[in-house]
Each structure stands twice: as structure tokens, then as C-alpha cells.
Amino acid sequence: MTPPPGPAAALPDVFDPRLYADGVPYDRYRVLRENHPVARQEEPPVLGWPAGPGFWAVTRHADVTAVLKDAATYSSYLGATQIRDPGPGDLPFIRRMMLNQDPPGHGRLRTLVSRAFTPRRIARFEDRARERARALLRRAVADARAGDGGCDLVASVTDDYALLNLADLLGVPESDRGLLLHWTRRVIGYQDPDEAGEPVLGPDGRPLNPRSPAMLADMFAYAGELAAHKRRHPDDDILTALATTPELGAGELEMFFFLLTVAGNDTVRGAAPGGVLALVLHPDQLGALRSGAAPMPGAVEELLRWHPPVLTFRRTAARDTVLAGTPIRRGDKVVVFHASANRDERVFTEPDRLDLRRTPNPHVSFGGGPHVCLGAHFARLQLALFYEEFLAAVPNPRLAGAPVRLVSHFINSLKSLPLRMADRRMAD
């Protein structure tokens, strides 16, 4: 492992997940972008997880996109895509997921699953998603009027909105849809004690990786049973399309179910309340969106830049290389910081200003290169529909308390967003 270029204490820490409970550390990112664009970071033991060997934090837009595009140099396969190293026994299993593969194997799997994401299939969900957003928001506003005027948007609206849309797309029966949220919280929220609970310890006394076979056995068993049901009773949904694809093995299908359940759910689940919070805190931009002065498609992109649902992704150097003047050795961990790239002054004018009319807007919130988010179109559609219905349902949203953020250096999510949705109904 390459030694640090100087005293580790001199560099801002952007690894500790607990930092992110107070907000994305944009000030620390700025220091790294200006002075150490490829910065050495330590991995001390934290939240019950053991120490790691350290990694290179990549914070400038140009370098982030260079890493994401160059799969031959920066591999998703060698060490998977999370900062923490998986256990040696888990790595072969984790590598079966498309997210953790490199070309050409990655391209084969992506082509197969892309066939299921047809424009016609996604368009069919548009009316249903709009009606769902409208119904959830109307119910939340009605409950707010009947109470003190407040509402937790995450618990009352956005968790259900993202979950039910995904369940429709996948073809998960209504009675089983709560399982998707349970699995998502367990995998995504593993760094947050409120979401994950006490770590499950393996035989060696260390916490089990949430992506290990032992932790995913129940999800995979369910995926196999549901796939078998879809073969007997096909429908127009993603899981039927995958289950009836002869080129997909049973293990690959289970991994797709895992990837679509977690990534498909949490992208919108994280982005929607983050976008609403940005609008509430910037009433001038909320007014521009409401009046039509800021068109919705551009607003969705700016809100994604401002609140990217994914903060980081890891690669592993497949060979010795140099990035932004920094020598990187084969086997080193290289972590791209999407949220930092989205605030890079070299690319975005006044990057710390929310501007719903910003153009161009080359944010990297959906990644880049061969691993660019497969469901980006579906996520953008859901977010646009949700914001449109939110504007119609809530004429004057205001914060009713402090938002509560997920403890995670991976996912940029709100666990709670208290909003004043309506004035309290006066008694007759």
C-alpha cells in the first residue's frame, strides 16, 4: 500500500460516517479539492467495524469522471465498490453482482438487464406513480390539518413513494412490499445504529458485511421463489423479464434482485426528501419552480447535483498509475466523492448556490462510464412527478423541526424531514 504523502492528521477526514450525520462535509471537500485532490485517508475502527488499510479520496470533477470511465485501470471487480474491504470469503460472492464487475463481463449483464427496462414498460408506470404521489401527499396534508399542521415527509410520503413504485416495476406482490424496505435499510443503513441495530457478528467476532451470503440468504431465497412464480404466472414487470431470460443463471438473477431492490429503492428514497429540503431552504428557487420560471427537467438535475443520493464509490487500482500527479500503486483503494465533484468550482459557477436554471449541469450523481446508473431515467421520472405533485399539494412548506440524516459516508439520505404541510384546522 502506498504510504501517505505527508502527515495524515494534516488532511481533513472525510471517511468517518458519523461526520455525515451533521451534513455532507462540503467544507472539508473544498480543502481537499484545492490542496490535495487525490488525498490519503485512513480507515480507523469506527462503529464496531475494524480498521482498514486506507484509501485515496478523489474529489475533483475531472478526476472523478476519469476514474469512473477507466475500468481497465480502476477496477470494480478486484475489491468491489464499497470503501470497507469485504471479507476474503465474501468477495467471490459479491463479485457476482453487476455493480462489482468490469468489462466485458459487466457489459454482458448490463445488456441483459437493460432489455427489461424498456421505455414502454417505464412509461406505463408514469400515471400510476403520479397518482401515488398525489394520494400520499393528500393524505399527509389531511393528517397535518387534523393535527398540528406538521408531517414527517420521509415516514409519511417519500419512503412509501419510492418503495411502492419499485415494487410495481419489479412485480412484487403487495403483501410482500414491506420486505423491500426492510432489506434496503439493513444494507444501506448498516453504518447507522438506528437503521441497522446491533451488528451481526461472524465466527471471528467481527461484524458481518451486509452484502455477505449469510446476511442476504433470506432475500435471495425470496427472489428465487418469486422468480419461479413469475415463470408460472408471467406479467409485464421487470422480474418476469429477468426470470424468463435464459442467459441469466439463478445466482445472477438473485444478484439483480438485490441490486434493483436496494439501488432502485434508495436512489429515489434519498433524493426526493433531499430535493424538498433544498427547495424549502431556498424559497426563491421554490418560487421559480412553482411559477414555471425554472423548468422541471432542469430543476431535477440541479436538485440531484445539490443532493446526490450516492456520496462515494470505490475502485481498486488494477495497475500502477498516476492520478492528478499522485502515484497510485496496483491494489490501492481509490474512492470517488460524487458530492465533492458536484461542487467543483472548476466546473460549476457558484457551486454552493442552488440554481434550478443552471445549464449546463454535468453532475455525476448517477455516476459515469460503464457503470452509469441503469435506472437513471426511471429515477428522474419519479422525481419530476413527485415534485410536481408536491408543489400542487403543499402551497407553503416550512421546516417544522431539524432534519435527521443517515449516518453514512455512502448514501446521502434523510431519516426524517419534519415539515409544516398545512395550517391546523380550526375547531367549529
Q: Check if the beta carbon of residue 418 is closer than 8 Å to that of residue 330.
A: no
* DSSP at 317: E
In a domain, residue 3? The reply is no
Percent of the chain with pLDDT strictly greater than 90: 68
Number of domains, the chain: 1
Task: Residue 357: name the closest of 272, 287, 309 by CA.
Answer: 287
Q: pTM (2 decimals)? A: 0.93
Would you say residue 290 lies in a domain?
A: yes
pLDDT tens-digit profile of 251-310? 888 888 888 888 888 899 999 999 999 999 999 999 999 999 999 999 999 999 999 999
DSSP 8-class letter at 86: P
Q: Locate 396 and state its grid cell.
A: 407553503
Domain assignment present for 166: yes
In this structure, is residue 428 part of a structural domain?
A: no
Pairing label, strands 404-405, 52-58: unpaired
Distances (CA, A) of 268 to 24, 155, 274: 18, 14, 10
Euclidean distance between the first and the last CA atom of the chain, given in angstroms as a whole number:
72
**CB 30: neighbour CB atoms within 10 A?**
18
| pLDDT tens track for 386-398 | 999 999 999 999 9
Which grid coordinates are listed for 313?
Answer: 464509490
d(CA 163, CA 265): 6
For residue range 409-418, what is the model confidence (pLDDT) as tens digits?
999 999 999 9
Question: What pLDDT, in 10s, does the model give residues 67-109?
Answer: 999 999 999 999 999 998 987 888 888 888 899 999 999 999 8
DSSP calls for 373-389: -TTHHHHHHHHHHHHHH
On whether residue 427 sits in a domain, the answer given is no
Residue 27 sits in which domain range? 8-420
Backbone φ and ψ of 144, nearest 5°: -65, -45
Residue 249 lies in a domain: yes
Taken in order 367, 372, 377, 379, the sign of the CA dihedral is: negative
- Band (pLDDT 50/70/90 cuts) for residue 197 is low
5 burial type by CB count under 10 A (0-12 exposed, 13-18 middle, 19+ buried)? middle
Amino acid present at 293:
A
Asked whether residue 51 is domain-assigned, the answer is yes
CATH number of the structural domain spanning residue 381? 1.10.630.10
Residue 1 covered by a domain: no
CA distance 69 to 59: 15
